[in-house]
Amino acid sequence: MSRRGFLKWMMAAFAIVAASFYAMVQLLTRLGSDRPYMSAGESGASGTSDAYAQTSAEAEEEKPIVSAVPLLSFFVLSDLHVSVYDESTPRKLKNALDQIAHFDSPVDALLLGGDLTDYGMESEIKSFESIIASYKLPPVYANMGNHDYYNVWIDDNGGFSRDTFPNGKTDAGSRARFMKTFQIPNVYSDVWLNGYHVILVSQEAYSQEKPEVGEGAWYSDEQLEWLKVKLKETTDGKPIFVLIHQPLPPQGEDGGSHRLVRAKEFRNILKPYKNVFVISGHTHQDFDNGTSHYSKETFHWFTNASVGRTRNTQSGVEKSQGMYVQVYEDRVVVRGREFAKNDWIEAANWTIPLEKAKI
Contact between 220 and 204 under an 8 Å Cβ cutoff? The reply is yes
Q: Do 273 and 191 lie in a common domain?
A: yes
Q: Do 285 and 336 lie in a common domain?
A: yes
Q: Do 11 and 141 lie in a common domain?
A: no
Give the chain's domain count: 2
Q: Do 169 and 219 lie in a common domain?
A: yes
User: Cα–Cα–Cα angle for 129, 88, 104, nearest 5°?
Assistant: 70
- Residue 66 lies inside a defined structural domain of this protein: no
Q: Do 18 and 121 lie in a common domain?
A: no
Report the alpha-carbon distance of residue 262 to residue 243 in Å, rounded: 15
Nearest partner of 165 among 177, 176, 150, judged by Cα: 150
Q: What share of the chain is helix, strand, coil (3-state, %, to 5)?
A: 30, 20, 50
How much is the pTM? 0.81
- Residue 279 lies inside a defined structural domain of this protein: yes
**Other beta carbons within 10 Å of 229:** 9
The DSSP H or E segment spanning 212 is: none
Non-local CB neighbours of 235 within 8 Å, separated by 6+ positions: none
Q: Do 159 and 283 lie in a common domain?
A: yes
Q: Go through the chain and tell me how many residues it has.
A: 359
Residue type, position 95, single letter:
N
Q: What is the pLDDT of residue 65?
A: 57
Q: Do 19 and 146 lie in a common domain?
A: no
Could you give phi then psi for residue 295, rounded to 5 degrees?
A: -145, 150
Contact between 136 and 101 under an 8 Å Cβ cutoff? The reply is yes
Nearest partner of 307 among 350, 277, 340, judged by Cα: 340
Q: Do 118 and 28 lie in a common domain?
A: no
Q: What is the pLDDT of residue 290?
A: 87
- Residue 43 lies inside a defined structural domain of this protein: no
3-state secondary structure of 187: coil
3-state secondary structure of 146: helix
Residues of the chain with pLDDT under 70: 1-66, 357-359
CATH number of the domain bearing residue 299: 3.60.21.10
What range defines the domain where residue 6 resides? 1-34
Report the alpha-carbon distance of residue 339 to residue 77 in Å, rounded: 11
Report which DSSP code applies to 262: T
Q: Do 78 and 135 lie in a common domain?
A: yes
- Residue 185 lies inside a defined structural domain of this protein: yes
Q: Which residues pair with 82 in a beta bridge?
A: 117
- Residue 47 lies inside a defined structural domain of this protein: no
Q: Do 28 and 80 lie in a common domain?
A: no
Task: Answer positive or negative: Cα dihedral of 15, 16, 19, 21.
Answer: negative
- Residue 136 lies inside a defined structural domain of this protein: yes
Q: Do 9 and 117 lie in a common domain?
A: no
- Residue 57 lies inside a defined structural domain of this protein: no
Q: Do 17 and 137 lie in a common domain?
A: no
> DSSP letters along 50-71, please?
HHHHHHHHHHHHHS----SS-S
- Residue 311 lies inside a defined structural domain of this protein: yes
Contact between 228 and 271 under an 8 Å Cβ cutoff? The reply is no
Q: Measured in whole angstroms, how far is the alpha carbon of residue 94 from the centre of its chain?
A: 22
